[in-house]
Chains A and B, each alone.
Chain A
Amino acid sequence: DSGVTQTPKHLITATGQRVTLRCSPRSGDLSVYWYQQSLDQGLQFLIQYYNGEERAKGNILERFSAQQFPDLHSELNLSSLELGDSALYFCASSVAGAGVSEQFFGPGTRLTVL
């Protein structure tokens, strides 16, 4: 158990819909990272927040957005869903804002878009 929690574990929805994925980082960790993992793309970095502020942005679509709240939990919002958005979405947390520190990954949310 990494100490990072993600909800829900599974999510099945239809194209065009909007969903919200939630992540609670390990106690004491200030950074939250979101990743998308699909079979043909591996682990793709989406976005990072550090202590409530956006720190780094990767290949995140405009239909996706995220935020980190004062209690440090984070939410990833996916809208106008397409079939290709079906994937595993992982959240990771770390102590520091960049570099060096190890990232701890949650168990993931499996999103299926029908």
Chain B
Amino acid sequence: LAKTTQPISMDSYEGQEVNITCSHNNIATNDYITWYQQFPSQGPRFIIQGYKTKVTNEVASLFIPADRKSSTLSLPRVSLSDTAVYYCRALSGGSYIPTFGRGTSLIVHP
């Protein structure tokens, strides 16, 4: 099965850029890497997904190197409302079982 590893927690301040890196091995070669955001007592919500290089949408950027053994979620100019847990998700190679990291708890301070 794939194994995904991400930092347990991070702290930042309003207006700063935050980068959260997830390492993942044994992932499916033909699937996207996806990041989710979760607030307390809610289900995870899709943020962004990518296959290789860089993807950007209105809320975040995602950087994936050519070997796809890691991915970095970049949140520009965070605000207090970005305080949440962030998960990376990949599919296990072969079995296609979705594997989530343990989540990174981001706390944004005023």
Residues of chain A at the chain B interface (Cβ within 8 Å): 2, 4, 33, 35, 42-45, 48, 56-58, 90, 92, 98-100, 102-108, 110
Contacts and interface: CB of A to CB of B under 8 A. Distances in A.
Contact of B45 (A2, A33, A57): A2
A91 to B, nearest CB: 8
Interface of B: 28, 30-32, 34, 36, 41-46, 49, 87, 91, 95-103
A15 to B, nearest CB: 24
Contacts of B44: 43, 90, 92, 105
Where chain A touches its partner, the secondary structure class is: strand
Given A45-B100, A102-B34, 10 more contacts: A33-B98, A42-B87, A42-B100, A48-B98, A56-B96, A90-B43, A99-B31, A103-B98, A104-B46, A108-B43
A48 B97 CA distance: 9
Contact of A2 (B43, B95, B100): B43
Contacts of B87: 42-43
A3 to B, nearest CB: 11
21 contacts: A33-B98, A42-B103, A43-B87, A45-B97, A56-B97, A57-B97, A92-B44, A98-B96, A99-B28, A99-B30, A100-B32, A102-B49, A103-B34, A103-B46, A105-B36, A105-B44, A105-B45, A107-B42, A108-B41, A108-B42, A110-B41
B50 to A, nearest CB: 11
Nearest first, the 9 closest Cβ-Cβ pairs linking A and B are: A105-B43, A99-B31, A43-B100, A42-B102, A98-B96, A102-B46, A105-B44, A45-B98, A90-B43
B35 to A, nearest CB: 11
A108 B38 CA distance: 12
Contacts of A35: 100
A107 B38 CA distance: 11
Contacts of A110: 41
Contacts of B102: 42
B86 to A, nearest CB: 12
Contacts of A4: 43
